Structure 1
Amino acid sequence: MAERADAYRALREALSLHIPDERLIHDALRTLAYGTDASFYRLIPKLVVRVHDEQELGHVLRECRVRKLPVTFRAAGTSLSGQAVTDSVLIQLGGEWRGVEILEQGNRIRLQPGVIGARANQLLAPFGRKIGPDPASINSCMIGGIAANNASGMCCGTAHNSYRTVEDMRVILADGSCLDTADRHSVAAFRKSHATLLASLEKMADEIRHDTPLAERIRHKYRLKNTTGYSLNALVDYVDGLEILKHLMIGSEGTLGFIASITYRTVVEEAHKAAALVYYPNIDAACRATMLLKQAPVAAVELMDRAALRSVENEPGMPEVLRQLPEASVALLIDVRGTQLHELEARMTEVGRVLADIATCEPWGFTQDPARYALYWKIRKGLFPAVGAVRDVGTTVIIEDVAFPIERLAEGVGALTEVFQRHGYPEAILFGHALEGNLHFVFPQGFERDGEVERYQGLMDEVAQLVGQEYGGSLKAEHGTGRNMAPYVELEWGTDAYALMWRIKAAFDPDNLLNPDVILSRNARLHLENLKPLPAADPLVDRCIECGFCESVCPSKNLSLTPRQRIVIRREIARLTALEAPDAEQLSLLTALKKDYAYQGMETCAGDGLCATQCPVGINTGDLIRGLRHDENAGDAHPGKVKVARWTGEHFTRVTSGMRGVLRLADGLNGILGARNMQRLSDMARKCSGGQVQQWTPSMPANAPRPYIKHLAQPLGRSDAPSGHVVYFPSCATRVFGAAREDRDARSVTEMALALMDKAGFEVVVPQGVDSLCCGMAFQSKGQFEAGDGKAAELAAALVTASDGGRLPIFCDTSPCLAQAQAYAQEHLEVVLTLVEPVELVLDYLLPHLTIEPLADRVAVHITCSSVRMGLADRFIELARRCAQEIVVPEEITCCGFAGDKGFSTPELNASALKDLRSEVAGCDYGVSNSRTCEIGLSEHSGLSYQSILGLVDRASRPAARL
């Protein structure tokens, strides 16, 4: 052990010559957090290295090879089979691996491994193209994982997976050498330097061509979806060693080398879509329909058994028929697409003709309605999380995917169901890609109680025998072999093919250092070892299945922890805390985790709630962090902080007035000293105060004027208002922060709002005592729930009065504050209030009274987290497009990370979240959003002036002619 520890220390010292120490991570908290993936295995790396380029990666591989230390590559960590965990060195890809090059008008695309799959499709959409693979996790998984696992999906089949659509790739091998198959000079050099490797591959291919039974077995296996073992079809499909190498890399799960970029041939994205959800009385009828649909013009056919449908039937919005289906029924979701509407209609007619003679439980038909279409796919995509949401605390969710020859699919379903029943898994559900005979089975599994590991082993042994031997199917159809199926590869493939796979591994990686035990393992119990504990930590997050879908939208993902990782560490803290007799090492670990979590988990969490929009089970990790902040900052243990919060709430007018005074002073000093000296002064004060003094930046606004005061009035306002009345609640942020010196529009948000509403002919009513009002978010985000609820209740009462008991619409100029007030009102008030934020105000109330003439500007648009959560993103874009000739919505930017006041107190969070903003909005004239504090950070990190979208609408509009 000491010798190995010395090896890792020596490795860190060697790597520090090329990679900064902050990217050589070896503390207990982050190695655990960063080392966790979506599988049910836990291995904690000794070292996590965040590499930024190929040179750094080559250094890591060479230094690890010298010391015989294993290496594992990690992209998004959404893999389900344990192929992205290690107890050695984990190479983690960050945001520097997101290069994209669109070629030949979208017919090809070159992608680096850190590009999220959905992002590639967004970039291809204007060309009517997409990448072939379409895994269910495409909104979160990255190209590196898609290629390394040969992921497919609902509409992909075997024709459009990575193996079939790869054109070129750039590969870094175990010895640190690089091959670019698109570069003839690189190819020529590689043929000389690695002639032995290429000759070995060509020799294996030649042997197979002369071994007819083996060649035929390989061809048979790949007429199905198959990701078990290496892509042996490369040895029968190609003769040139370079082509063999390229295609062996697909599906190799990081065990043969690192894919630094891949060039795909893209496929057509058909614009017109329709779907039907067809209920058959039994599996035989559903499979007869599937066989007929195999030759029909369909994009996808998804099978769901009765148990699967039952798992979602009580979810909101589900069709009533789901609760009335017979016990043996099976559903097929049939998706049809066309490039033109007439093509779609012809295909729907053909599918109807093909299925006309097979009886169904209910009459059926296709829908082209986007909402209904989305609902059908929501049913299908909600099956896996539905099991995760209802499992017992402490259990995990197992999802496996197998493939049967399609002609034996009905038999296979029956056989699998019987196996699950016999081993005590009655809650298992079956669903999958029927056209490929590809079935996923999902069930909850605990490993803590006696006998559970043995029960799971018995199940997997029998499933492997059933699928791999009796039916000649694939034990892993599309999720990759990983650790949990590595012990069964030989059972499926046979001794000779298995030996061939070991020869391939030895040719690429003779020291077995690249992801050892993944795909190939001599350990027959590998799939039963290093099982991940999932102890109860908090009811808010105990349903988390650690899938990682949340990570792509988290603003702290490149700074500290993601939502998944925050939950992982809370679970470990809970596990260690629950130990009856912890030893010294465990106590030391618990102390270290608690200490580091204060910053990594709590201080750097924006609490924006975007994670809940991506989470399959709807977890808002921000709620967990706010609860922890409450425990930390409130209650009997911290009476002083409670008193400060209570005093602040009770004297809110004085507090906001004081803040305006500070801003007035800061703006005056800025005018005298200049921005550079002012920045230095701020940095010095912040350093001397230990971070207690908040950050000043050149984008800091001056104090806001108070033009809303003259609108304090009785609830009904003037009776002669030509367009009506609106209650206007200017948030505390817009009451405090005015325009910055560099802003394009010198007006404050309240001035813009009042001018626009006046232009549209609305009489404005401002609640009495507005300067003391607050939605409570400023308190809630810090865990001061009592003070926050008090301010929220005070605001709600004032809005009820000002709106004449809810009769008048209520406008709040700041989206997050509106969302907070709306949530409180819906939960606590009997009166129904109509609360709207800037985009809703304009589109639903002002627009009929305005004439819009788009400005000849290129405008950057930032949609706040609250707008996304309220479903307003598309409406925001619609409004911006009406007002400007060109808009830019940075696809790589989600939450800005300003998070109320964290842009001042934890500015590194805002900087990390927006580190790519400047390049994404280059060439824009200015930016718009709907949260004043967010706009401060956006201005700082973009080089543009960001202000309220109300100003854009005001400049682009004039009063409509009145009849």
Structure 2
Amino acid sequence: MSTAKTSQNVTKDLDNFIEPERIYRDEVRRTAYSVDASMFDRVAKTVVDIQDEQEVVKLLEHARTTGTPITFRAGGTSINGQCSGSGILARIRGPFWNQTKVMDEGRYIQAWSGVLGAKVNELLKPFQKMMGPDPASLASANMGGIIVNNAAGMCCTVEQNAYATMKDIRIVLADGTILDTSDAESVAQFRKSHTSLLYKLIELRNELLSKPEVAERIKRKYKIKNTCGYAVNAFVDFEDPIDILTHLMIGSEGTLGFVTNTTLRTIDCHSFRATTLIFFPDLRTGTKAVSRWLETKAANAAELFDGPTLQALVNLPIAPKVMQGIDPNACCVLLEAKASNQAELQEKVDALSGAISDLEVLSDYEFFTDEEQCESLWAFRRALFPACVGNREAHESVLLEDICFPVDKIEEGVSELGKLFGKYGYIGGVHGHAFHGNFHFAIPVDLSTEKELHKMHQFLDEVMQVVVSYDGSLKAEHGTGYAVAPFVKMEWGQEIYDIMCRTKKLLDPFNILNPGVLINDDPTCHTKSLRVPIASHPKLDKCVNCGFCEPVCPSGKIASSPRQRVSLWRAIAHLKDSQPAKAMEWEKAYDKLGTDLCATDGICTTRCPMRVDVAGFVRDRRDQLASKTTKKIANKVGCSIGGATRGAALLLNGVALVQRLAGDAFMYKSAGLAEKIVGPSLPTWNAHMPKGAKKLPTTSSKGNDVVVYVPSCAIRTMGDSVHDPAESLAEVTLRVLERAGFRVVYPDNINKLCCGKAFETKGLFEEADNKSREMEAVLLKASENGKYPILCETSPCLARMRKVMDERLKMYEPVEFATKYLVDRLTLQKVAKKIAIHPTCSTRLMGLAEPFMKLAQQCAEEVVWPQDIQCCGFSGDKGFSHPQLNEVALATLKNQIQGCDMGYSTSRTCEIGLSLHGEVPYRNIFYLIDECMGSAS
């Protein structure tokens, strides 16, 4: 079937069972949405969002009819190309895929394929349990991907992976049949309807068992991590063909069927841990220590870093002093033990120390049990990836490999890999999960020329030969994909490879499920359709497409995620040389998908291992697009900010008066009609639209300690709402400060001041800087050059002030100010309420989310912090101009704060959207402090 015909069929038939707005056919969005974490650049012919299992069944029927291949995708964090395809890319989206069920006091958990891995562990935490798989991508990988990749991680052993801990699974086969092993009736029906298939699975099993040496080799190879090829150990481990079938699904990378949900047996999550970093003179001593620790069974993790890896880390601020001038042959191990109590932990620490008492170490070491110190050591480990690839050129890709040696062959295997780096001129080292023999390396590679591509191919071929020579695993935990498909036969041999090929043909006779992944006849498929990076913008060039940013980005659910914006902008950069007219058209489409709908809060940066500033790039783009007229208007508004805020307040009061007299129903109807007449430029009205703010109250001259209070433009413009009448925030803040013994002063001309945040968000940098400089001068005067603390009740404003203003100024937002200056001065009496909190993006970026929770817990009996809510999507005025962004960001808020009396945050605009979608009034945290405030201490 020709590509054109297939494309026509795709276009014609999908509309019959999928809503048009969930089908993406235009080239721009297909390019953006096809990007994954791999080095491959396959663009799907069509991208669809599937909302439930029945759509999966219908999509498979469509694929069988048209011969169109399907690639299912959850989080898109797989790195070997297994979630990229050139047919239909089916993204699982919507609440159906986010279901979970904790069972038997946390001993088991059932999770649908769209659930984040981190969410599973969050649900299990109250039971002191966790799931076995712990990939580094846990906060961005979905359960579907974790299962079909058999993903592991730093601590996950082969006894704890998805294959070993799976209790039940619900799958959809290529013929559309659903099998649910948790449902006895489903299993019974399947045995009847698929007798022939089950019989053929038994035949394959018998064929393997008839050759004891083959069966024994399979058992031996799965004693270490292995995700290369299909899980043929299922044929050896199980007699029941249902068990064989379901375990073949683990690690099958979407090539044998679709996984709807999985029930896993959980493992214990110990509360006590001890962590240390130990340096050894050479690799031999380090691996000897690993072997001894393994025998004690006292440690949970041992991360080994070879000499070249340490050299890449030596200049980091968090690097231990012992690394200065360290021998190039040295290595180190990050060692951690966990236990259920302190006594047990001490026993383990003693055992681990005793095991290496006669080995040479380069410095004294200490086991830390303090959470902060333990995390600082793991921060050293997490810094490894950006340290290895952070200095790559913009045109270079990242080759990330994942291999496994038998534990007793670690030293030899790692040494041989080091020789290959030197032979091919690659700068890199080896690191990994030493207890499992599982090692990684990340090196920059240039794929822009045939010469460099051939060099990488030769290098990989020799790496594979080294691993196979020790009977290791070519892929330990990252899966096979396209990257290793040509080498599966090399690892397993013709006989076992044939079993894998026959398994694929048996379960996918139509060859519609991710063809070319895992099984591929093309010996060079791993060097084709590769993504060639290009210098596109300094703020974007370090992006490695990992996708860690996506779970916290609200616009990714309706337009584009940070990763997709970067990928699309790079595609435009490629087009500019060859097809400039097309590049211009793509730029227009890009602005609708990315520039217009980005919240620019920067929270994605906190998840990015390379600290890529996509929000900063979007602001730059907005500055580039802003016309001279727009910038002149911004300047006029900035010069008359006092009049602008009072005018807006009067307008809001007028709207609120109509709302109070006519009611919400009338307002919604009128607002909808007005939007039709005026167009989308008209701000969208909602029932929690604020009234205009009152004039600032007069400060008192009482109090011993001075504090400079800077009410933001937002609270000088927006007051309470019709549905939540309250005193003004300025009045409440003054009362709290004065009760705490402060003499409050406003800066001169407070009503004319602005930090510039509103202008910065829109990319109007010149006016933003004008206002910042103006405020900075006034604050220096009011605080006597930083002598007195400064409070701004709006976190986003304060974050900008800290970023651009004089470092002498001691500036605080509400949480930090209350923690530092109020808690000890006031007697806080907990209110008998259940409350919710929302740390804003700025609060999180300043590291104040946890302190916010602690402060709230000092003020209320029960505090809910909805973990599924990240950026609220209001983004200054985006909640008025693009309300869908706020809506999708807070879609799950209402269910997460059931029973809460009030909600609290530190940004007035964020509170509007939170009140609307949470259906609980949200106010500034100072209202809560005021309510539970007793007499001054």
Structure 2 length normalisation: TM-score? 0.98
In the alignment, structure 1 residue 535 sits paired with structure 2 residue 528: no
Find the counterpart in structure 2 of residue 921 from structure 1.
897
Find the counterpart in structure 1 of residue 779 from structure 2.
799
The 3-state SS of whatever aligns with 2:402 is strand
Counterpart AA for 1:750: A
Find the counterpart in structure 1 of residue 589 from structure 2.
596
Find the counterpart in structure 2 of residue 36 from structure 1.
35
Alignment of 1:551-700 (within 5 A): 551-579=550-578, 582=579, 587-588=581-582, 590-633=583-626, 638-700=627-689
Find the counterpart in structure 1 of residue 909 from structure 2.
933
Superposed displacement of residue 321, structure 1: 2.0
Find the counterpart in structure 2 of residue 267 from structure 1.
267
Superposed displacement of residue 319, structure 1: 1.9
Superposed displacement of residue 759, structure 1: 2.1
What is the aligned-residue identity percentage? 39
Q: Whole-Å Cα distance in 2 between the matches of residues 824 and 273 of structure 1?
A: 40
Alignment of 1:732-811 (within 5 A): 732-743=713-724, 746-811=726-791
The 3-state SS of whatever aligns with 2:557 is coil
Superposed displacement of residue 642, structure 1: 1.3
Superposed displacement of residue 320, structure 1: 2.2
Superposed displacement of residue 573, structure 1: 0.8
Match of 1:878 among 839, 854, 867: 854
Q: Whole-Å Cα distance in 2 between the matches of residues 189 and 450 of structure 1?
A: 54
Q: Whole-Å Cα distance in 2 between the matches of residues 23 and 321 of structure 1?
A: 55
Deviations 1:725-750 (A, max 9, x none): 2110000001111000111x512221
The 3-state SS of whatever aligns with 1:196 is helix
Deviations 1:433-491 (A, max 9, x none): 111111112110111134011000100111111111x1111100110011110000001
In the alignment, structure 1 residue 814 sits paired with structure 2 residue 794: yes
Q: Whole-Å Cα distance in 1 between the matches of residues 311 and 837 of structure 2?
A: 42
Q: Whole-Å Cα distance in 2 between the matches of residues 856 and 195 of structure 1?
A: 62
Q: 1:117 touches 1:141 (CA, 8 Å); kept in 2?
A: yes
Superposed displacement of residue 231, structure 1: 0.4
Q: Whole-Å Cα distance in 2 between the matches of residues 591 and 767 of structure 1?
A: 47
Once the two structures are overlaid, the 10-residue window that deviates more, 538-547 or 884-893, is 884-893
Deviations 1:481-536 (A, max 9, x none): 11110000001000000000011101110111101111100011100100002111
The unaligned stretches of length 5 or more in structure 1 are 712-716
Deviations 1:698-719 (A, max 9, x none): 10010111234x23xxxxx84x
Superposed displacement of residue 400, structure 1: 0.6
Find the counterpart in structure 1 of residue 220 from structure 2.
220
Once the two structures are overlaid, the 10-residue window that deviates more, 563-572 or 186-195, is 186-195
The 3-state SS of whatever aligns with 1:739 is strand
Q: Whole-Å Cα distance in 1 between the matches of residues 309 and 512 of structure 2?
A: 41
Q: 2:834 touches 2:901 (CA, 8 Å); kept in 1?
A: yes
Counterpart AA for 2:720: A
Find the counterpart in structure 1 of residue 181 from structure 2.
181
Q: Whole-Å Cα distance in 1 between the matches of residues 467 and 25 of structure 2?
A: 42
Find the counterpart in structure 2 of residue 117 from structure 1.
117
Find the counterpart in structure 2 of residue 404 from structure 1.
405
Superposed displacement of residue 369, structure 1: 2.5
Q: Whole-Å Cα distance in 2 between the matches of residues 242 and 162 of structure 1?
A: 17
Counterpart AA for 1:751: E
The 3-state SS of whatever aligns with 2:691 is coil
Find the counterpart in structure 2 of residue 721 from structure 1.
703
Alignment of 1:434-513 (within 5 A): 434-468=434-468, 470-513=469-512
Runs of 4+ in 1 over 4 A off after TM superposition: none
Counterpart AA for 2:610: V
Superposed displacement of residue 176, structure 1: 1.5
Q: 2:405 touches 2:473 (CA, 8 Å); kept in 1?
A: yes
Find the counterpart in structure 2 of residue 714 from structure 1.
none
Find the counterpart in structure 2 of residue 520 from structure 1.
519
In the alignment, structure 1 residue 956 sits paired with structure 2 residue 932: yes
Q: 2:82 touches 2:517 (CA, 8 Å); kept in 1?
A: yes
Q: 2:660 touches 2:722 (CA, 8 Å); kept in 1?
A: no
Q: Whole-Å Cα distance in 1 between the matches of residues 388 and 244 of structure 2?
A: 40
Superposed displacement of residue 794, structure 1: 0.9
Superposed displacement of residue 552, structure 1: 0.8
Q: Whole-Å Cα distance in 2 between the matches of residues 959 and 561 of structure 1?
A: 51
Counterpart AA for 2:600: G
Deviations 1:107-131 (A, max 9, x none): 1000011111111111111110000
Superposed displacement of residue 8, structure 1: 2.9
Find the counterpart in structure 2 of residue 67 from structure 1.
66
Q: Whole-Å Cα distance in 2 between the matches of residues 953 and 189 of structure 1?
A: 61
The 3-state SS of whatever aligns with 1:539 is coil
Number of aligned residue pairs: give it. Answer: 935
Q: 1:35 touches 1:43 (CA, 8 Å); kept in 2?
A: yes
Alignment of 1:166-565 (within 5 A): 166-296=166-296, 297-425=298-426, 427-468=427-468, 470-565=469-564
Superposed displacement of residue 627, structure 1: 0.3
Q: 1:403 touches 1:438 (CA, 8 Å); kept in 2?
A: yes
Counterpart AA for 1:475: L
The 3-state SS of whatever aligns with 2:479 is coil
The 3-state SS of whatever aligns with 1:885 is strand
Once the two structures are overlaid, the 10-residue window that deviates more, 497-506 or 306-315, is 306-315
The unaligned stretches of length 5 or more in structure 2 are none
Counterpart AA for 2:442: V
Q: 1:607 touches 1:899 (CA, 8 Å); kept in 2?
A: yes
Find the counterpart in structure 2 of residue 731 from structure 1.
712
Counterpart AA for 2:144: G
Q: Whole-Å Cα distance in 1 between the matches of residues 312 and 718 of structure 2?
A: 49
Counterpart AA for 1:541: L
Q: 1:387 touches 1:397 (CA, 8 Å); kept in 2?
A: no
Find the counterpart in structure 2 of residue 837 from structure 1.
813
Q: Whole-Å Cα distance in 1 between the matches of residues 591 and 81 of structure 2?
A: 29
Q: Whole-Å Cα distance in 1 between the matches of residues 672 and 313 of structure 2?
A: 54
Q: Whole-Å Cα distance in 2 between the matches of residues 194 and 706 of structure 1?
A: 76
Structure 1 length normalisation: TM-score? 0.96
Superposed displacement of residue 764, structure 1: 0.8
Counterpart AA for 1:380: R
Q: Whole-Å Cα distance in 2 between the matches of residues 31 and 923 of structure 1?
A: 42
Q: Whole-Å Cα distance in 2 between the matches of residues 561 and 601 of structure 1?
A: 6
Q: Whole-Å Cα distance in 1 between the matches of residues 867 and 114 of structure 2?
A: 15
Superposed displacement of residue 591, structure 1: 3.8
Q: 2:318 touches 2:380 (CA, 8 Å); kept in 1?
A: no
Find the counterpart in structure 2 of residue 19 from structure 1.
18
Deviations 1:538-587 (A, max 9, x none): 001101111100001111121110100010111111111133xx3xxx74
The 3-state SS of whatever aligns with 1:102 is strand
Superposed displacement of residue 323, structure 1: 2.6
Deviations 1:6-26 (A, max 9, x none): 433333432222221000111
Q: 2:389 touches 2:442 (CA, 8 Å); kept in 1?
A: no
Q: 2:311 touches 2:328 (CA, 8 Å); kept in 1?
A: no
Q: 1:388 touches 1:545 (CA, 8 Å); kept in 2?
A: no
Superposed displacement of residue 852, structure 1: 1.6
Q: Whole-Å Cα distance in 2 between the matches of residues 143 and 895 of structure 1?
A: 22
